[in-house]
């Protein structure tokens, strides 16, 4: 039963993330005005604003102008709900830290979608996630130091790889995300998460390069997914680490 509440809460946050994803890159306020159809500007009635159900009731179309509402909206609400359930399940209790960790992953989700859309992310959201990562556990100073180590390490990686390849390999946005990973996961697991993220990006990047002949693949979605997987399965990943390095 509690999981149902957690899921609904997460889906409501997912619905808010849709607003954030649409408005923040356009420089619009996320509070005012209330949600409206991006095409005919008609305000959306509260009943249709219910996560997931609203989209289903409307059959994916605006009631006024019948313009299709992208399936992405309910998908992000669904991910928000599932994310909340998994964060709660892994934490085993509801504390301020559980909420902060959920807020970090929710922000990373918004950043991932924005990165896919624009191949760039707003510093406001990115720095928000980084700042939250300092407070993701009671060890604030340690979290801060771990974030700095990851920012420094990934900056170095960027210098080396950019020099070798002869062009920018990582964006500034990626470096701030790396800091968030350090603050949240600690140095060991953050490094594992970078490797997992890079591994996940490998095939799509080859596809992008060879088939679509485009150079730039958004990297933040892969870093975010790597971070979430490593956080979710941290005992397993720590075990793997100690087996590899003792
Ligand atoms: Zn409309």
pLDDT band at 115 (very low <50, low <70, confident <90, very high): very high
Q: What is the mean pLDDT of residues 41-58?
A: 87
pLDDT of residue 81: 97
d(CA 3, CA 89): 9
Cα 44 to averaged position of ligand 1 atoms, centre (Å) = 9
d(CA 103, CA 207): 32
Give pLDDT tens digits for 216-246: 788 999 999 999 999 999 999 999 888 888 6
Q: Exposed/middle/buried for 9, CB within 10 Å: 0-12, 13-18, 19+?
A: middle
Cα 41 to averaged position of ligand 1 atoms, centre (Å) = 6
The answer to whether residues 80 and 14 touch, using CB atoms and an 8 Å cutoff, is yes
pLDDT of residue 168: 83
Examine the pLDDT at 214 and tell me if it is beyond 80: no
Please identify which residue in the block is written with the tokens 């849709």.
Answer: 18
Where helices occur in the chain by DSSP H, the ranges are 2-23, 53-57, 72-91, 96-118, 123-134, 140-165, 172-210, 220-232, 234-245
Cα 171 to averaged position of ligand 1 atoms, centre (Å) = 36
Examine the pLDDT at 198 and tell me if it is beyond 80: yes
Q: What is the mean pLDDT of residues 100-128?
A: 96
pLDDT band at 215 (very low <50, low <70, confident <90, very high): low
Please identify which residue in the block is written with the tokens 């990165």.
Answer: 115
Cα 54 to averaged position of ligand 1 atoms, centre (Å) = 14
Give pLDDT tens digits for 60-105: 898 888 899 889 999 999 999 999 999 999 999 999 999 999 999 9
């Amino acid at each position: 039963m509690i999981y149902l509440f957690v899921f609904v809460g997460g889906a409501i946050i997912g619905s808010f993330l849709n607003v954030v994803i649409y408005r923040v890159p356009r420089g619009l306020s996320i509070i005012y005005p209330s949600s409206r159809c991006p095409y005919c500007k008609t305000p959306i009635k509260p009943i249709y604003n219910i996560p997931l159900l609203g989209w289903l009731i409307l059959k994916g179309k605006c009631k006024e102008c019948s313009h299709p509402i992208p399936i992405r909206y309910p998908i992000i609400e669904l991910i928000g709900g599932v994310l909340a359930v998994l964060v709660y399940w892994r934490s085993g209790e509801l504390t301020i830290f559980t909420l902060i960790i959920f807020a970090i992953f929710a922000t990373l989700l918004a950043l991932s979608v924005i990165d896919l859309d624009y191949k760039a992310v707003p510093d406001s959201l990115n720095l928000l996630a980084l700042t939250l990562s300092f407070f993701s556990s009671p060890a604030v100073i340690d979290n801060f130091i771990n974030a700095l180590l990851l920012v420094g390490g990934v900056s170095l990686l960027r210098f080396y790889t950019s020099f070798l390849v002869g062009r920018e390999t990582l964006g500034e946005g990626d470096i701030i995300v790396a800091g968030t990973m350090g603050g949240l996961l600690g140095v060991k697991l953050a490094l594992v998460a970078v490797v997992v993220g890079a591994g996940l990006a490998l095939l799509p990047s080859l596809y992008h390069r060879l088939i679509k002949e485009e150079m730039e693949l958004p990297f933040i979605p892969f870093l975010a997914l790597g971070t979430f997987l490593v956080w979710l399965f941290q005992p397993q990943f720590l075990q793997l680490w100690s087996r590899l390095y003792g």
